[in-house]
A and B are shown apart, each in its own frame.
Chain A
């Protein structure tokens, strides 16, 4: 079976884009990825486009914008994992031998869709009684603090780290470093979480071009990195209540990815994880097996997750610093892995990294642990 090579990446600035829409953003990211790959756009054989709130046939609108009509095209909705799921489906088209050159795009113009707290779908019983996504993660934070003795100040170090990284990322939504005091003094959203603990409402898009061995040998110019694994799981139904401070869904997805890539968590050099909230980063990295359960807050305190630390987490700034345009997020994570592995990450470059991991996890429905989870492993 062929390997999957990522040979071109593109990403818009993440932030507020009042003068453009999700089509413009997706098209800009796609054109940049094509230029980065240095290929004739006519080589692209199929397209997968992830978004959540952008309406029917988003992907067709983007491809029409750049003159690419007629391709097999799939629009993908999988909550915050939509873009990452698009990458997974695109990579399967290559592994199956169906296509040699495919593109995955993720886009979202979120500022035109809503403001404030995201909620589960209104039909959901939990949404009907007032569940919000910040509220759900806040409850997990309350329990984690009780179970593992994490302090509010330790939790604040995560947005401090991620916004410091974002300050080094020219494409990030936030470009200003903050302090623990800034976090603790920001507006309360859902106790114990405050505004700086939350990812912002962001517009943005990203795109990656993937190739088979055969196409990469012809067109990759030696700049390709490998998508060693792209795994997807959906949440299982709770048969009995389990700890909300651990993520079996994240672990099941990671295990599949580790097996496919032939590595273990100890081999991962750096990670982009789904820090939709500060507490989420804790739950993700422990669920991925990158840090032991209950240990991450103190590891962050020791600087282990910094860009120059033992295992950098969210060097791009993460969702909290770089921003979280739902469909764009999972693709942008992979763009960051590729740029880090190519040595093109500028002031936030991690030295000597060979294996990067990206994790997305999104959505909520009553009675299941999480909705959609993806883990991608990219290697040099």
Chain B
């Protein structure tokens, strides 16, 4: 995992950012059937159990698909890469992709969570968000 800032999480319910610079995307796991969900849910869509625990998801996953967005809302500077990453817990999460030239992005690439500056709050304090970047080759 890569970190470069220590602002507060841009969306604390979905991204936990800790003071040691680590962080995770957060969701729910059903204690009854084991299904996982992003974001946090009140009941399981698989079995309707309300016995859910909030869990941090793995920081490593696989790129399911992607696009280079060239027209967006004024809040986002274009172009940027957008992708869906499948995590081992059985969730697929959308995020921007960083750390790679657009033309080198491929379906099936191993990706990792990257905590990065992501705008600022109403008072101008920097916020930390997430992107996905190709995994460091450590295996």
Contacts and interface: CB of A to CB of B under 8 A. Distances in A.
Contacts of A116: 71-73
Given A132-B73, A139-B66, A190-B71, A237 B90 contact: no
Interface string A125-142: 110111110110011111
Contacts of A2: none
Given A143-B65, A244-B65, A367-B39, A130 B70 contact: no
A119 interface: yes
B112 interface: no
A117 B14 contact: no
B46 to A, nearest CB: 4
A237 to B, nearest CB: 3
A41 interface: no
B24 to A, nearest CB: 15
A238 interface: yes
Interface string A105-123: 0000000000011010000
Contact of A367 (B37, B64, B69, B82): B37
Nearest to A140: B65
B72 A128 contact: no
Contacts of B95: 129
Contacts of A244: 64-65, 84
Contact of A143 (B11, B14, B38, B64): B64
Interface residues of B, number: 36
A117 B107 contact: no
Contacts of A132: 69, 71-73
A367 B95 CA distance: 13
B45 A237 contact: yes
Contacts of B66: 139, 142
A187 B78 CA distance: 14
Given A119-B73, A125-B14, A131 B82 contact: yes
B38 A366 contact: yes
A151 B79 CA distance: 23
A131 to B, nearest CB: 6
A135 B41 CA distance: 25
Interface residues of A, number: 35
Given A128-B10, A139-B82, A143-B64, A236 B45 contact: yes
Interface in B93-109: 94-96, 107
A263 interface: no
A44 interface: no
A193 B67 CA distance: 9
A129 B107 contact: no
Interface string A172-196: 0000000000000001111111000
A1 interface: no
B82 A241 contact: no
A363 to B, nearest CB: 16
Nearest to A128: B11
Given A241-B90, A367-B37, A367-B39, A130 B96 contact: yes
A240 B66 CA distance: 19
B84 A139 contact: yes
Nearest to B27: A367
Interface in B33-82: 35, 37-39, 41, 45-46, 64-73, 75-76, 80, 82
Interface string A238-263: 11110010000000000000000000
A240 B64 CA distance: 13
B70 A129 contact: no
A142 B82 contact: no
Contacts of B70: 187-191
Given A116-B71, A244-B84, A238 B65 contact: no
6 contacts: A117-B71, A130-B75, A139-B84, A237-B45, A239-B90, A367-B37
Question: 4 closest Cβ contacts across the A-B interface?
Answer: A237-B45, A138-B67, A241-B92, A143-B65
Interface of B: 10-11, 14, 35, 37-39, 41, 45-46, 64-73, 75-76, 80, 82-84, 86, 90-92, 94-96, 107, 129-130
